[in-house]
Structure 1
Amino acid sequence: MRRFLVLQLRPETEAADEEFDAFLDRGGLSAAEVHRIRLDEAPLPALSLDDYAGIIVGGGPGCVSDAPEDKDPLEARIEADILSLMPEVLSRDMPFMGCCYGMGILGHTLGGTVAKGRYGEPIGGVDCTMTEAGAADPILADLPRDFRALVGHKEAVETLPEGAVHLVASAPCPFQMIRAGRNVYATQFHPEAKGQNFANRIRIYRDRGYFDPSDAEALTEACLAEEITVPERILSNFTRRFGG
């Protein structure tokens, strides 16, 4: 089996390691089946996408909708590295799963509106519902139409990009999952995350503007109380479909 390329954007080692372990566990992957690159450690090296079964992009504290002058220099370089891959990903219809931050990357690349004005969601669980197109999609077709997922994001896709397919919605944020072509996916929710993952991230990111730090304990308790089962099946369906 060709490996999956896992690109991580989190500058915090503890958060990056925790996310990577979650990708392996929920994606049904071994460390030997992936090529992990932490973009905070070095610029994206020269790659041949022919070497990979697909690409998984993790989350991170950056926002593509931030003004260039407001971007942290490291986050700006990481964003530029990811964006540099997207034209080839789309032209090849390369299997791609962008998680949370990946929604902004895909939406921006496709020309959709990505902004902070309307659909940011606080840390916690949300009810998601598949569209008709979602229910017919190969990596969603065997899953419940309604499910809970964990979210927490400042920006969101506000308009469906031309040519994109709307797969999953929620009341607070309409575009929870989209697809471009046949194989390029992005989720606004975190398909790799369970309650403990979010508890860890609440501790790590408590001062990054996602929530009032005084709410950290209550948010942690709420996330730990969530029973999240369907999103990880989306991730494992993706790796099974394109990895073997």
Structure 2
Amino acid sequence: MLPFLLIQTRADDPVAADELRSTTELGGFAPGELTTLRLDRALAAGGPAPDWAAVLAGHSGVIVGGSPFNSSDPEESKSGLQLAVEAELGRLLDVVMARDVPFLGACYGIGTLGLHQGARVDSTYGEPAGAVTLHVTEAGRQDPLLAGVAPWFTAFVGHKEAIRTLPEDAVVLVAGEACPVQMFRIGAHQYATQFHPELDVDGLLYRLEIYADHGYYDPAEAEELFARVRTATVSEPRKVLANFRRRYARG
């Protein structure tokens, strides 16, 4: 089987390693079935830009994980590295869409895919870190990536920006009360989620500790938040990741 590619844009090595761990475990990837590209690191090193057509030809599909970057931040506030990462992800998606490559963006990935396709992304529907209740839409009930997912389920979120409006050809698959667009599809094989299908309890607690000063929650409420996370039952979101692997694995 050709491996899947996990594109990461996290400067913190331990967080990137844990993201790889949780994605591998929750998605059911066997050894060798998930490779990584630390895109921020590659760009910071000053190497050549990836040949995305060649890269994608050697992979079954692409997963873009979370990030400390916010796509909707004012351009003048973005670092040179963030701008370079965004430009490369735009080039990647040009190839993904042109060649109909399977794509799954999680959290940061929803804004990346959404902006590329003409969505409006801003801070209107940001959500503090924690567990929320979501529901599968009528269209979602027919989608293979949501096969076996309960109609209502609990998922982990934590984001400063979100989709405000989608282009007309996008299909909303999962919705929430505080953040209406929690998962959508563009075309037949390009998906994005606002919630985290790749996060388990240990992974979220670890990220909350590392990003305590990044504005995802009030540090004064940390103890209460951590307690709520530890008691949350979050079993359904990982099925999206596993369904993506099963559906698009190719030799």
* TM-score w.r.t. length of structure 1: 0.96
- Per the alignment, residue 139 of structure 2 pairs with 133
- Structure 2 residues without counterparts, runs of 5 or longer: 44-48
CA positional deviation for 1:33: 1.3
User: Does 2:102 align with 1:95?
Assistant: yes
Which residue of 2 is the match for residue 114 of structure 1?
Answer: 121
Kindly, what percent of the aligned residue pairs are identical? 44
Quickly say closer, same or farther: Cα 1:220–1:72, change in 2 above 3 A: farther
1:195 and 1:223 in contact (8 A); partners too: yes
1:59 equivalent in alignment to 2:66: yes
Which residue in 2 is equivalent to 1:228?
A: 234
The separation in 2 between residues aligned to 1:191 and 1:14, in whole angstroms, is: 19
- Within 2, Cα distance between the matches of 1:165 and 1:91? 19
Q: Structure 1 regions of 5+ residues with no counterpart?
A: none
Per-residue CA deviations over 1:155-180 (Å, capped at 9, x if unaligned) read 00001222111100000000000001
* Residue equivalent to 1:200: 206
Q: Shift in Å at residue 73 of structure 1? A: 2.7
After TM superposition, give the deviation of residue 74 of structure 1 in Å.
2.4
- Contact 2:148-2:239 within 8 A present in 1 as well: no
Cα RMSD (Å) of the superposition?
1.2
Q: Secondary structure, in 3 states, of the residue corresponding to 1:139?
A: helix
Amino acid corresponding to residue 154 of structure 1 in structure 2: K
Task: Name the CA distance, whole Å, in 1 between partners of 2:158 and 2:125.
Answer: 11
Please give the alpha-carbon distance, in whole angstroms, between the structure 1 residues aligned to 2:83 and 2:223.
31
Instruction: State the Cα distance separating 1:68 from its structure 2 match.
Output: 1.1
Do 1:110 and 1:162's aligned partners in 2 also have CA atoms closer than 8 Å? no
- Three-state SS of the structure 2 residue aligned to 1:32 is coil
Report the CA distance shift for 1:63/1:151 in structure 2 as closer, same or farther (over 3 A): same
Contact kept? 1:119, 1:172, Cα under 8 Å? yes
| Aligned residue in 2 for 1:8 | 8
| Aligned equivalent of 2:50, options 45, 50, 56 | 45
Q: What residue is the counterpart of 1:80 in the other structure?
A: 87
Residue-pair matches, total: 243
Inter-partner Cα distance in structure 2 for 1:238 and 1:50: 17
Equivalent residue letter for 1:21: R
Q: Does 1:148 align with 2:158?
A: no
1:217 aligns with 2:223: yes
Whether the 8 Å CA contact 1:103–1:186 is kept in 2: the answer is yes
How far residue 230 of structure 1 moved from its aligned partner, in angstroms, is: 0.4
Distance in structure 2 (CA, Å) of the matches to 1:20 and 1:106: 21
- Tell whether the 8 Å contact from 2:149 to 2:237 is kept in structure 1 after alignment: no
Deviations 1:90-122 (A, max 9, x none): 122210010000000011011010001x20000
| Normalised TM-score (structure 2) | 0.93
For residues 12-32 of structure 1, what are the alpha-carbon distances to aligned partners after superposition, in whole Å with 9 as ceiling and x for unaligned? 111111011011101111341
